[in-house]
Structures are given as C-alpha cells and as structure tokens.
Amino acid sequence: GIQVEQSPPDLILQEGANSTLRCNFSDSVNNLQWFHQNPWGQLINLFYIPSGTKQNGRLSATTVATERYSLLYISSSQTTDSGVYFCAVLGAGANSKLTFGKGITLSVRP
C-alpha cells in the first residue's frame, strides 16, 4: 500500500517563530488532508489539498502531486498550535483507504 512519511517527527518552537512540516508519499493520490490533533485528542481538519496551494490565516499548505510531497507552513506560531499534525492520503488505485502518517509533534513555548 501507499507509504506516508512525515518530518521532522518532533519540533520545538518559540512563540512567534515560523515552521514547515513535510509529508512525503510513495504513490499517486486522490486525496490529501492535514489535521491537527489537539491535546484532548480531537482531530481538526486543516486542509483538504490533493494538489495546489491553500491558505487559512497563519496556516498554508502546498501539495506538489507530481513530486509526491506536501508542506504545511505555520507562521507566527502560538502556544495553541501545539499538538500533533497528521498528513493523510488516499491512494489513486482501487481499494484505497485513507492512510495516515505517524504525525509531527509540535511544541510551541511561550
């Protein structure tokens, strides 16, 4: 099945700093989503972005499907950005299921 790798596994930032989170995937995809899991375990949808670039406030994401990667940018980070960020993809082949990466744990310090 499709492989999803996220990097770096852990990230510590000072409040106000910018960061880039990366998601690599091993095959063509029909769907790519970025989620933020808050400390209570809720998965919050950030972006649905199988290709192209989107922005939502301080967050933006870019997926380059032909090169099989996606980037999530966080600017002017805040302590509430802390948590785990997941990338999940749906492969383009038949019988595909959403496959999650292992996540990136972000800690933003005041």
Partner 1 sequence: DVKVTQSSRYLVKRTGEKVFLECVQDMDHENMFWYRQDPGLGLRLIYFSYDVKMKEKGDIPEGYSVSREKKERFSLILESASTNQTSMYLCASSFGPESAWGISYEQYFGPGTRLTVT
Is residue 103 near partner 1 by the rule CB under 8 A?
Answer: yes
Give the tokens for residue 8: 């770096």
Is residue 90 near partner 1 by the rule CB under 8 A?
Answer: yes
Shortest reach from residue 7's CB to partner 1, in Å: 15
Is residue 51 near partner 1 by the rule CB under 8 A?
Answer: no
User: Contacts with partner 1: how many residues (CB under 8 A)?
Assistant: 23
Give the tokens for residue 35: 């989620």
Other CB atoms within 10 A of residue 106 CB: 20
Is residue 41 near partner 1 by the rule CB under 8 A?
Answer: yes
Q: Which one of 10, 12, 80, 97 is in contact with partner 1 (CB under 8 A)?
A: 97
Q: Can you name the residues that pair with 81 across neighbouring β-strands?
A: none
Give the tokens for residue 77: 């980070």
CA nearest to 98, candidates 106, 107, 82, 87: 87
Q: Which of residues 52-81 bind partner 1 (CB under 8 A)?
A: none
CA nearest to 81, candidates 89, 73, 91, 92: 73
Q: Which residues of the shown chain bind partner 1 in the complex (CB under 8 A)?
A: 30-31, 33, 35, 40-43, 45, 48, 50, 86, 88, 90, 94-98, 100-103
